[in-house]
């Protein structure tokens, strides 16, 4: 594998094992030079903690990007996670245009909704802005809720293969290139990921753990990007990321004191081996 430099753009939750505190170590473990661009800095993540602090870094992003452009810094891949505003989405599109090397990948995790609802910070205007980023990317990694918001399709908790096929069709018609659709389960106790590449459907199924952990979406997306940039196929990257995420959740189970995140660090060696 050539030594590659990737830029990941998302927030820093200083405590809580999500966003950049997940992406930076996982991408680095996969052998990538990892540059970061924080969209905001929070003292902790927002799920379960109270009184957290948050500093929006929107105003800093254009200056950072301008300095990189002046220094002729460019990237072999750009991977986005949680973005805080429509202005940040516009800034990210400019960074992709100016700093992504020709032929390299833009990978977007829409990171705006789950369980049928938008996250509290977002509204319809944000969804419309996210569409412009997602449908210009090379790869998107939505969950079912996010895919529904991107297409206008009604969200359903109970669904079948025909429903997922229709969702993929609408994403394709809207301009999505490659889709990694997460959290797709057709039978009780099982879930998985759909890889929709070149109009072809592939499905990797794995066990579903009822008691999940905060930040597992970020763990999955980062492991997927790391494996893919390590020259794994789209399907193999999706499989490696799923197996790693499940293992991390299982490793965290039973520790009531660790309610705020997933213990992914002790298993980074397993991810490194899987990417070899």
Is it the case that residue 21 has pLDDT exceeding 80? yes
CATH number where 64 lies: 3.40.1190.20
Cβ 251 vs Cβ 263: under 8 Å: yes
Local structure of 101: helix, strand or coil: strand
pLDDT band for 47, please (50, 70, 90 cuts): confident
Q: What is the mean pLDDT of residues 111-118?
A: 94
Give the pLDDT band (50/70/90) at residue 12: very high
131 confidence band (pLDDT: 50, 70, 90): very high
* Cα angle value 201/204/205 (rounded, 5°): 130
Percent of the chain clearing pLDDT 70 (strictly above): 100
The answer to whether the CB of 234 falls within 8 A of the CB of 178 is yes
Q: Does residue 60 have a pLDDT over 90?
A: yes
Rounded alpha-carbon distances, angstroms, from residue 196 to 77, 153, 168: 20, 18, 7
Is residue 263's pLDDT more than 90? yes
pLDDT (tens digit per residue) in 77-92: 999 999 989 999 999 9
Q: Is the pLDDT of residue 194 over 80?
A: yes
Per the structure, the complete domain to which residue 182 belongs is given by 5-275
Give pLDDT, residue 2. 85
Q: Give the Cα separation of 273 and 67 in Å (integer).
A: 36
Report the chain's mean pLDDT, rounded to a whole number: 95
Instruction: Tell which wins on pLDDT, 2 or 196.
Output: 196
The per-residue pLDDT for 198 is 94
Quickly tell me which residue has 């948050």 as its tokens.
54
Residue 215: band (very low, low, confident or very high) from pLDDT cuts 50, 70, 90: confident
Q: Phi, psi (5° rounding) for residue 228?
A: -65, -45
CB 43, CB 14: distance < 8 Å:
yes
Question: In terms of Cα–Cα distance, which of 5, 29, 85 is closest to 219?
Answer: 29
Averaged pLDDT for residues 103-131: 95
Contacts of 209 (CB under 8 A, 6+ apart): 246, 249, 250, 253
Q: How many domains does the chain have?
A: 1
- Encoding tokens for residue 120? 């509290």
Q: 196 forms bridges with which residues in the sheet?
A: 179, 201
Confidence band (pLDDT; 50, 70, 90) for 1?
A: low
pLDDT of residue 112: 96
Give the residue carrying structure tokens 């979406």.
217
Q: Is the pLDDT of residue 140 over 90?
A: yes
Structure tokens at 183: 């959290």
**Number of alpha carbons in the 13 Å side-chain half-sphere of residue 229:** 32
Count other Cβ atoms within 10 Å, centred on residue 68. Answer: 18
Res 69 pLDDT > 90: yes
**Predicted local distance difference test score (pLDDT) of residue 273:** 97
Q: pLDDT-derived band of residue 210, with 50, 70 and 90 as boundaries?
A: confident
In the prediction, which pLDDT does 214 show?
Answer: 82
CA pair distance 113, 72, nearest whole angstrom: 35
* 172-201 average pLDDT score: 96
Task: For residue 254, name the pLDDT band (cuts at 50, 70, 90).
Answer: confident
């Amino acid at each position: 594998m050539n030594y590659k430099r990737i830029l990941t753009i998302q927030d820093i939750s200083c405590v809580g094992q999500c966003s950049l505190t997940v992406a930076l170590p996982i991408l680095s473990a996969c052998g990538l030079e990892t540059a970061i661009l924080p969209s905001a800095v929070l003292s902790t993540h927002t799920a379960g903690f109270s009184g957290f602090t948050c500093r929006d870094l929107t105003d800093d992003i254009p200056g950072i990007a301008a300095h990189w452009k002046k220094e002729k810094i460019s990237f072999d891949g750009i991977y986005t996670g949680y973005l805080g505003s429509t202005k940040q989405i516009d800034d990210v599109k400019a960074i992709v245009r100016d700093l992504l090397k020709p032929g390299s990948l833009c990978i977007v995790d829409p990171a705006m909704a789950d369980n049928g609802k938008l996250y509290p910070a977002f509204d319809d205007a944000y969804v419309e802005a996210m569409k412009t980023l997602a449908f210009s990317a090379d790869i998107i990694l939505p969950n079912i809720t996010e895919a529904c918001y991107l297409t206008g399709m009604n969200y359903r908790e109970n669904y079948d293969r025909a429903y997922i096929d229709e969702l993929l069709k609408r994403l394709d018609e809207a301009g999505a290139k490659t889709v990694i659709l997460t959290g797709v389960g057709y039978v009780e106790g099982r879930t998985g990921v759909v890889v929709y590449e070149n109009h072809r459907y592939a499905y990797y199924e794995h066990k579903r753990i009822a008691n999940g952990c905060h930040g597992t979406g970020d763990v999955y997306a980062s492991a997927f990007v790391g494996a893919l940039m390590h020259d794994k196929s789209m399907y193999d990257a999706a499989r490696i990321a799923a197996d790693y995420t499940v293992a991390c959740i299982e490793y965290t189970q039973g520790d009531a004191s660790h309610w705020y995140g997933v213990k992914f660090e002790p298993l980074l060696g397993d991810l490194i081996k899987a990417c070899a």
